[in-house]
Structure 1
Amino acid sequence: MNYNTWPPLLVVDVEGNGTNPPDLVEVAALPIRDGRPDTSTAGAWLIRPPRPVTPFAARVHGLTNEVLASSPSWPEVAGQVRGLLGEAWIAAHGAHVDYRVLSAHLPGWEPAGVIDTLRLARAAVPGLPGYGLDALIKQRQPDLSHAPDQRHRARFDAYATALLLLDLAERYPTWGQLAAVSVPPSLPGAPQPEEDPTLW
């Protein structure tokens, strides 16, 4: 894989407060540059949600109402998040969730395309017993010794997803082939069906 052919891409992960629809409590955006995660230009934000964090969500990611009490609200950081994401591609594991939540919180924002590493993994390594992030970490064994925070925190999950993306991408010689198998049909960047030339 020639990473110089990749468009601008950020691996994203969001954590919510457990409500439906969710309020954001953490966002991470990790650029991929020269075939590696670029932690020096990554962005991560803790956010005080307008509604309390549910006990279940707090047990998953550890971000309690007390932890977030002094964090900025979403309107205070939304411009920074939008500025980092820009119009680049994004990648995430189960990307429709992250894309949907970010789109709801950033009206008018749309990435150039959306890579789903869950979809990519199913295409690249068929037949695994599971394709959740934990299962893929166990199966592919990326080097997470430099990953920030811990599992279920946005920075950790974005870093782990970035390493899995780069590992799985090695099976596809070109960006076009990678995108063809990993962009969900309904999301930005999906290949458009060719028009029937016989129609007029």
Structure 2
Amino acid sequence: MTRQIVLDTETTGLDPLLGDRVIEIAAIEIVNLVPTGRSWHVLVDPEREVPPESTRVHGFTTEMLRGKPKFAEIAEELLRFLGDSPIVAHNAPFDFGFLDAELQRCGRAALDRARMVDSLELAKRRFPGLPNNLDALCRRFGIDNSMRTSHNALLDVQLLAQVYLELMGGRQPGLSLAAAVAAPAAASLGGPARERTPRPIVPSEAELAAHAAFLGRLKDPLWLRPPFAPAEAAE
């Protein structure tokens, strides 16, 4: 079973080293490339003013975030939801950079970069030279993003989960999940599920004779050469 977390953040700006802070985190759990329905979302008091230019991007103001929990208060719950699973994000170094800064600010270890899965890099490899932002990918994959009038982490992560599943092969569950689904489906169609018995196809004498006659009309047919020819024909 492969568990992954699709994650998105919104922030007060572009650089945590300049004091910009996380204001929203949203995450969705997927297992074997199928959303499980488990998600995690929180608004965070950044403990600083939200610049007007950032508000124009995501819609959050200082007043809207005042009184929300501070990052240190939600860090444990966030880490518990993330577990040790790989974390998928679009332009993942941006999200990891902000989360690392917040975690270190409250005395916790940074996230292991080996867990980082950058869906933007996946999209660039699949569609080199094309726009690969979230809106462009939604249009390319036929995903409805009409509700996306601003950069909201909760909506963005739902869209990103769909985009990521398309990038990984079109929302198709892995073979292990397909096998797990097949057994109860077979049982529901008329009895207990059971292993399929191989049924080899054995040609009749007439079919073998017709095939031999057909080969006789060909010039040096491949099927009469070893290893395809029967032992008696090759002798």
TM-score (norm 2): 0.63
Q: 1:12 aligns with which of 2, 7, 13?
A: 7
Tell me the equivalent position of 2:159. 160
Tell me the equivalent position of 2:31. 33
Using CA pairs under 8 Å that are at least 6 residues apart, name the structure with larger relative contact order, 1 or 2: 1
Superimposed CA distance per residue, residues 142-198 of structure 1 (whole angstroms, 9 cap, x where no aligned partner): 2458x8x86411111111111111001018x9x9xxxxxxxxxxxxxxxxxxxxxxx
Find the aligned partners of 2:70 and 2:31 in 1 and give their Cα distance: 30
CA contact (8 A) 1:11 1:31 kept: yes
Find the aligned partners of 2:135 and 2:94 in 1 and give their Cα distance: 17
Greater mean deviation of Cα atoms: 27-36 or 50-59 = 27-36
Shift in Å at residue 19 of structure 1? 6.5
Shift in Å at residue 110 of structure 1? 2.5
Structure 1 counterpart of 2:39, one-letter code: A
Q: How many residues align?
A: 164
Find the aligned partners of 1:103 and 1:85 in 2 and give their Cα distance: 14
CA contact (8 A) 1:9 1:91 kept: yes
Tell me the equivalent position of 2:83. 86
Find the aligned partners of 1:109 and 1:29 in 2 and give their Cα distance: 18
Tell me the equivalent position of 2:40. 43
Q: How does 1:164-183 map to 2 (within 5 A)?
A: 164-170=163-169
CA contact (8 A) 1:87 1:110 kept: no
Find the aligned partners of 1:17 and 1:68 in 2 and give their Cα distance: 11
State the identity %: 34
Find the aligned partners of 2:10 and 2:160 in 1 and give their Cα distance: 14
Q: Secondary structure at the match of 1:126?
A: coil
Unaligned stretches of 5+ in structure 1?
176-200
CA contact (8 A) 1:35 1:166 kept: yes
Q: Secondary structure at the match of 2:10?
A: strand
Shift in Å at residue 35 of structure 1? 2.8
Unaligned stretches of 5+ in structure 2?
175-235
TM-score (norm 1): 0.73
CA contact (8 A) 1:13 1:27 kept: yes
- Quick check: which has more Rg, 1 or 2? 2
Shift in Å at residue 34 of structure 1? 4.3
Structure 2 counterpart of 1:8, one-letter code: R
Shift in Å at residue 68 of structure 1? 0.9
Q: Secondary structure at the match of 1:101?
A: helix
Structure 2 counterpart of 1:155, one-letter code: L
Structure 2 counterpart of 1:35, one-letter code: L
CA contact (8 A) 1:37 1:159 kept: no
Superimposed CA distance per residue, residues 4-36 of structure 1 (whole angstroms, 9 cap, x where no aligned partner): 5xx321011011112742211000111112433
Shift in Å at residue 70 of structure 1? 2.4
